Structure 1
Amino acid sequence: MSTEVGSLQLASSRALSYAVTSPLSGGQHPFVLLASPLCTTLAIWDPVVPRLTDLGFHVLRYDPPGHGSSGVPSDLSSTTFDTIAQDVRDLLTHLNIQKVHTWIGDSLGAATAITFAAKYPGVVERLIPCCTISSSPINAGAADTFTPRVTAARKAGNMDATIEETLGRWFGRDWLDSHPDEAERMRKLMHDTSIDGFETCCAALRSETFDIRPLAADAGRHVDSALLLVGEKDAGLIQVMEELRQGIEAGLKSKKGEMASVDLKVVRNGGHVPFIDGFESFMEHVTPFLK
């Protein structure tokens, strides 16, 4: 496989960093798009990419605002899931990609996937959202957990404590201690998120505009099929993901008839980023769906 790394200057003059990895074999190959969780870069998908190119796919990855080499808006509070989705639409136009065979997104990337599919009909053929909340705390009637985390990072002047807290919450200390190499890889790539990037993407997550529950049916109407995944150690999101599954399935049925269905699968050993700690189970679910 070969990887081309690039940067697109958006209309706002922000940079959007991306990578396209292609199979070594020639000919036409469909695209799989991978979208990352908060506080990580496109490098988080490195273990998954070779499996996808082996299946004959081009793989497109991008960094959200302030992550990796992507820039941030001048107004950090202006980032929403609509603006992130627009960034991806501009990237696809820039690369002359008319169709995305499958969008696989985790957490922040999953919420972006559903937003995109609802907003841009006929671009994404298959959808795999993983481990996402469905709305901001204010829309869920819950306490805002994002503002205190941003405030703490600002006060510290670095992302160190935020990264360690996130790693512990995602993977658990036992997994981190028993997988030191992968834990260190995660830690290093997460340090490529700036405080500004963390704040601006947290602004999207805590925005009053963030609620993908009413978008799920439109996303279902605009794709050909969908599969939802949740890590077995991310039990708090199973009910949320089931609600999204039902919404996407309702949209898909309105398009394809009552026989249409959408599955929600549990990734063995997986947490909030199940393609890392539940890698083999994750691929067991994804591979047949892609085929």
Structure 2
Amino acid sequence: MSTETTLFMFPSGRVMKYAITASSADGPTVILSNLLCAPLQSWDHVVPVLASKGFRVLRYDLPGHGGSSVAQDLSSTTFDSLADDVRHLLRHVGNPETPCLDRRQHGCRDGHRVHARHPSVISRLVACDTISFSRVNAETADVFGRRVAAARKTGNMDAIVKGTLERWFGRGWMGENPSETARMRQAMRETSIDGFETCCAALRNTSLHLRPLLEHAGRGVESALLLVGEKDANLPESMKGLRQGIEDGIRKSSNPDASVDLKVIKGAGHVCYINGFGQFQETVTDFLKE
């Protein structure tokens, strides 16, 4: 099993850091997309599991996260532009079709958007702890704008990292798992303020609205799995509607017999592949191997 980490340069000069881990060069590719504030190493425990099953695992850093740079205009990042970034990367690494694990905490990358904009790129979709629309569209408070302003005022991401960790895992879990908490804290510190702001711009944009895209997002998808942490606020309930929308879209667009499962990861919060790792990896590998 080997891991290759390198940079991909877009025509604009912006770079994206990515890593490929594989035990075999010809296995199907699984894309792992990241959370806001976390670089690609947040998936370090999941990668060897998937690679040992014969998958070629592709991870990448979001703009301003880890080794990826940001666009000159921080407000220009949207979910469409993030989806296009993924398509360019896939062409670069030579994979026209691939399964996809879509991890979207606040939504810094969206597999639905990728295969809605680029049909048949993704054959199997796993969406984890997924919101359906931005707070602007939901007409609720703009927490991201306040957090960006706070980071700018202090000149660092320390308070953002601390607060985000507590929201993701809870203080109890963090106290019981100090080494994993420290690992994630260190990884999250690789997010720049510019990176935080530009990805928050995507989250604050009115274009973040999945429901109208679900019909198109079904094109080329064989099956989908939705995962949500049991303790992830109201998402276990709200993702039921998303599950039905994805199922309807897949049935109408590509597979009339498709079914979309929604699985609750027991005891997990917003990052179910970390504090629900055992059930997560078992559920996902079973789904991808079907």
Q: Which residue of 1 aligns with 2:277?
A: 279
Identity of aligned residues (%): 52
Q: Which residue of 2 aligns with 1:9?
A: 9
How much has 1:240 moved relative to structure 2? 2.8
Structure 1, residues 28-62: CA drift from partner, whole Å, max 9, x if none?
21101000110000000000001001110010000
Q: Which residue of 2 aligns with 1:205?
A: 203
How much has 1:217 moved relative to structure 2? 2.3
Query: Structure 1 segments of 4 or more deviating over 6 A?
Result: none
Note if 1:66 corresponds to 2:75.
no
* Residues 217 and 248, structure 1, Cα contact 8 Å, conserved in 2: yes
SS in 2 for 1:222: coil
CA distance in 2, matches of 1:142, 1:14: 33
Q: Which residue of 2 aligns with 1:34?
A: 32
SS in 2 for 1:221: coil
Specify whether residues 145 and 109 from structure 1 end up closer, same or farther in structure 2 by C-alpha distance, changes over 3 A only. closer
SS in 1 for 2:218: helix
Q: Which residue of 1 aligns with 2:154?
A: 156
CA distance in 2, matches of 1:200, 1:44: 20
Deviates more, 1:192-201 or 1:141-150: 141-150
* Residues 77 and 202, structure 2, Cα contact 8 Å, conserved in 1: yes
Code of the residue aligned with 1:18 in structure 2: it is Y
* Residues 216 and 253, structure 2, Cα contact 8 Å, conserved in 1: no
Q: Which residue of 1 aligns with 2:21?
A: 21
Deviates more, 1:234-243 or 1:124-133: 234-243
How much has 1:136 moved relative to structure 2? 1.2
CA distance in 1, matches of 2:149, 2:108: 25
SS in 2 for 1:65: coil
CA distance in 1, matches of 2:2, 2:89: 19
Code of the residue aligned with 1:240 in structure 2: it is S
Deviates more, 1:234-243 or 1:27-36: 234-243
Q: TM-score, normalised by structure 2?
A: 0.96
Specify whether residues 96 and 6 from structure 1 end up closer, same or farther in structure 2 by C-alpha distance, changes over 3 A only. same
Structure 1, residues 201-225: CA drift from partner, whole Å, max 9, x if none?
0000000111111112221233111
* Residues 104 and 110, structure 1, Cα contact 8 Å, conserved in 2: no
Code of the residue aligned with 1:219 in structure 2: it is A
* Residues 110 and 132, structure 1, Cα contact 8 Å, conserved in 2: no
Code of the residue aligned with 2:112 in structure 1: it is I
CA distance in 1, matches of 2:174, 2:48: 23
Deviates more, 1:93-102 or 1:274-283: 93-102
Code of the residue aligned with 1:282 in structure 2: it is F
Pairing of 1:1-291 with structure 2 (within 5 A): 1-23=1-23, 26=24, 28-108=26-106, 111-255=109-253, 258-291=256-289
How much has 1:132 moved relative to structure 2? 1.9
Specify whether residues 40 and 201 from structure 1 end up closer, same or farther in structure 2 by C-alpha distance, changes over 3 A only. same
How much has 1:239 moved relative to structure 2? 3.0
Structure 1, residues 100-149: CA drift from partner, whole Å, max 9, x if none?
12333232568511110111111100000111221111111211110000
How much has 1:158 moved relative to structure 2? 0.3
Code of the residue aligned with 1:19 in structure 2: it is A
CA distance in 1, matches of 2:109, 2:41: 19
SS in 1 for 2:3: strand
Deviates more, 1:165-174 or 1:97-106: 97-106
How much has 1:175 moved relative to structure 2? 0.3
SS in 2 for 1:253: helix
* Residues 232 and 269, structure 2, Cα contact 8 Å, conserved in 1: yes
* Residues 16 and 64, structure 1, Cα contact 8 Å, conserved in 2: yes
Code of the residue aligned with 1:2 in structure 2: it is S
SS in 2 for 1:263: strand
Code of the residue aligned with 1:30 in structure 2: it is P
CA distance in 2, matches of 1:111, 1:12: 20
Code of the residue aligned with 2:67 in structure 1: it is S
* Residues 218 and 254, structure 2, Cα contact 8 Å, conserved in 1: no
